[in-house]
Amino acid sequence: MTALRQRMIDDLTIRNYSPRTIQTYLLHVGNFARYFGKSPDLLGAEEIRRYQIYLVEEKKLSWSALNQIVCALRFLYRTTLQGKVEIDRIPYGKAPKRLPVVLSRNEVAQFFEACGNLKHRALFGVLYCAGLRIREARLLEIRDLDSQRGLIHVRQGKGNKDRYTLLPDSLLRMLRCYWRAYRPAGFLFPGRTPTEPMAKSALTSAIERVARHAGIKKHVTCHVLRHSFATHMLEAGVDIVTIQKLLGHSSLKSTSLYLHVAMPAPRITDRPVDLLDPSTLQTSAR
């Protein structure tokens, strides 16, 4: 391991970056160095510019993938190399303004009706009823469910932040049915190895199969269920600041995106989670 690599690891660690982020940043910086065949401390603004052009024009990276690399390089040159390159010389890509894909309530009902695997149904229920990210759902443990308060404790979500989100009665009933059938002990949704969480790839392929079987024409992903949760809560009259906290967004700007896809006339209810119709979350195994 080079001294520069170790220094960057130390800089990231003392600033409490997650192990996953540290690994990702090191990968991007390593790819940058290999592209020129030189250590990053021998490279400057012109090489960074050429590398970004290569990523955009030849690799055809999405703006989000490009900006992740930009974050890694900015950290390297701002912090570890202490301003060797001015940060403004490492520009971010401009994000396209796209609205999220959102399922209607009828489509949500179709989706869960078409899901015959109880384990998948329970996990998809967590994504929709609690608004979790796929990684947060995969890493849930039994101890994170507070049935008495009707809350789910999300530990170390995006940005290494803990938060609480909803555990409505309909979801709790489904999870109890799932637990009786599978008896998970540590992770709520373990993979083939009980001590490891369920693989992301397994969920990605499962949700695509279920959406096709349900006849839904939209491109359905795990994150679409999270988008649908936020939009339906907004339509139910829940204030946007509360939704921001439930989703774990650091900025209200991220949450305000749902204002553009929610129906203009919200339906008010005393308990917004009641609009997440329990009939769509049948607990019987097939």
Residues annotated as part of the active site? 133, 158, 223, 226, 249, 258
Buried b (16+ CB within 10 A) or exposed e, 247-257: bbbeeeeebeb
Q: Which residue's structure tokens are 């039994």?
A: 142
Q: Torsion-angle region of residue 268: left (phi > 0), alpha (psi -120 to 50) or beta?
A: beta
- The H or E element that residue 197 is part of is none
**Which amino acid would we find at residue 209?**
R
Handedness of CA 240, 246, 280, 139 (dihedral sign): positive
> In this structure, what token pair is assigned to residue 34?
């290999």
**Alpha-helix runs per DSSP H in 133-239:** 134-138, 169-182, 200-214, 222-235
Compute how many other C-beta atoms are within 10 angstroms of the C-beta atom of residue 83.
9
Residue 88 and residue 151 in contact, taking contact as beta carbons nearer than 8 Å:
no
Residue 268 and residue 237 in contact, taking contact as beta carbons nearer than 8 Å:
yes
Give the contacts of 89 (CB within 8 A, at least 6 positions apart): 45, 48, 49
